[in-house]
Amino acid sequence: MNSPIHAPSPPSSSSCSYNRPPPCLSPGSRNFKSPLLLPQTIRTSQKMYRCSGGHVEASSNTNPLKNYVVGRSTSGWFETQPLVAEQLVKRRLFPVEALATPTVQDFSDTPLIGDDKIGVLLLNLGGPETLEDVQPFLFNLFADPDIIRLPRLFSFLQKPLAKFVSVLRAPKSKEGYASIGGGSPLRRITDAQAEELRKSLWAKNVPAKVYVGMRYWHPFTEEAIEQIKRDGITKLVVLPLYPQFSISTSGSSLRLLESIFREDEYLVKMQHTVIPSWYQREGYINAMANLIEKEMKGFDCPEKVMIFFSAHGVPLAYVEEAGDPYKAEMEECVDLIMEELEKRKITNAYTLAYQSRVGPVEWLKPYTDETIVELGKKGVKSLLAVPISFVSEHIETLEEIDVEYKELALNSGIEKWGRVPALGTEPTFISDLADAVIESLPYVGAMAVSNLEARQSLVPLGSVEELLAAYDSQRRELPPPVIVWEWGWTKSAETWNGRAAMLAVLLLLFLEVTTGEGFLHQWGILPLFR
């Protein structure tokens, strides 16, 4: 298994030359096997909106686009850039579902823009804050049908099975969380991000409340929604804290929102929009490049450092069978970051791999652990790990990368190891998130017109319902990250079906022997073996 190593042209002169391997993959040569859920977009000048009273004004320093979306807000007209998602053509962004959760903010009155109360919902995974939280957190994780998928006939076993698996895995997981301080810092960091985002929005004249909705731990989505209802939010921007969209991360949270919103009249009436991914935004790219450039300066010879992007993996079937855009968005994201670094005269070799796989199914390759060993065999001596899919520190960065992968790298012949920190509350990153929210406001509840030729900084927007519709019909056909039971002619299914058949035979023989009845006795087969 060979990992794709990209080697931009080295500088014309350097005191530390490095014989880089040839590039194996270029953006122009990539051939994706399945259509993307959300078409890729290309960065251009940012289109900024100024909210004053009930009006939203847009300005831009370039105007190459056609077919602008023109809609009417409650108090005036606004003009925006077009959406580019094909599934949004001539569709209304119906106020179907959205997500939310309370944060550290404490306002007596919800700020208004015109007659609307604006809310921003940050979505994240969540994590146990203490060692006592580990087992119930794992239960919530494995109780998600997108994590452990059972045949419909056995769906009633979902929670009992989640209980069993969570109890089984809790001791090992507790060891990992104990090694990083006794719990995940994810909630604390996400709350800090929410507060900094709120401050940035207010500084940009967009008074809004920011909520945090965790998928598997406090503050839960349900808690957030109750807070949103109490605050009387009328327009909501849903912003997943996953730079790249995947049906296993943002999609899982959106599915939960759909089920909650479907049964709540208030939430059905509340207008919303979702920013499904934002990896190509200029502010995010610059923030990542800033962190990489800073960490590279800590090496004795920065020109020799291999930049190692490590992303959280997803099952391969999500990409090849359901058209999950995650892999394509991740590869484009890495390309954009390296393009920015090249502008800064940083032309190091780099590669991308995927970590955190579990279960017997095949995940996106190359795998991080295998790639590290391979790089060591190729003679790479300096490695800078970049957790490209994470914007907050948690167990995948603090334990898996900082401990397990670092030890593996040093044992594989890599002498110098470094790691880029997660973005956290990096100012450029937070400011860009605020800009993304501001750019999305005119789309909340507005009519969207698609223009596939458009080039813009803002990713395609859509409602929860529309985004889920792009892949939900394929959901039951996809293998989950952890397969516990499956029928059919697959490697995993053959194993479990064989075990089930063996148990059935043993049970049948036990009943025959103990009761002396049954078809084996009736057919005269069993007495032959007495």
Do residues 129 and 219 touch, judged by C-beta distance below 8 A?
Answer: no
Can you give the residue ranges of every domain in the chain?
118-279+428-472, 282-424, 491-523
Q: Output the CA torsion 274→277→280→282 (10° steps).
A: 50
Other C-beta atoms lying within 10 Å of the C-beta of residue 317 = 17
Query: Would you say the C-alpha torsion 441, 442, 443, 446 has a positive or negative sign?
Result: positive
For residue 325, what are the contacts with CB-CB under 8 A and spacing of at least 6?
A: 36, 37, 38, 40, 244, 245, 246, 277
User: Across-strand partners of 354?
Assistant: 311, 367
Taking the C-alpha atoms of residue 33 and residue 189, their distance in angstroms, rounded to an integer, is 37
Q: How far is CA 213 from CA 275, 319, 493, 511, in A?
A: 15, 26, 35, 52
Residues, the chain? 530
Range 118-279+428-472: architecture per CATH: 3-Layer(aba) Sandwich (3.40)
Give how far Cα 165 sits from Cα of 47, 138, 157, 355, Å: 48, 8, 12, 21
pTM, whole model, 2 decimals? 0.71
Name residues whose C-beta falls within 8 Å of residue 206's C-beta, 6 or more positions apart in sequence: 51, 113, 118, 434, 437, 438, 441
Phi and psi angles of residue 141, each rounded to the nearest 5 degrees, phi first: -65, -50
| Residue 413 DSSP one-character state | T
Query: How would you write the pLDDT of the chain (530 residues) with one tens digit per residue?
Result: 555 677 654 444 444 433 333 333 333 333 333 323 333 333 333 333 333 333 334 333 332 222 223 232 333 333 333 333 333 322 222 232 332 333 334 433 444 467 889 999 999 999 999 999 999 999 998 888 877 767 778 888 889 988 998 999 999 999 999 999 999 999 999 999 999 999 999 999 999 999 999 999 999 989 998 999 999 999 999 999 999 999 888 988 988 888 888 888 888 888 898 998 999 999 999 999 999 999 999 999 999 999 999 999 998 988 888 788 999 999 999 999 999 999 999 999 999 999 998 777 799 999 999 999 999 999 999 999 999 999 999 999 999 999 999 999 999 999 999 999 999 999 999 999 999 999 999 888 653 333 333 333 344 577 888 777 765 555 545 555 554 444 444 444 445 555 555 566 566 656 655 555 554 445 443 333 33
Determine which helix (DSSP H) or strand (DSSP E) holds 170, and give its type and residue range.
helix 158-179
| Residues linked to residue 83 through DSSP beta bridges, in sequence order | 450
What is the distance between the alpha carbons of residues 368 and 3, in angstroms, rounded to a whole number?
9
* Same fold across 118-279+428-472 and 282-424: yes
Per DSSP, 78 falls in state E
The CATH fold of domain 282-424: Rossmann fold (3.40.50)
DSSP helix/strand/coil, 449: coil
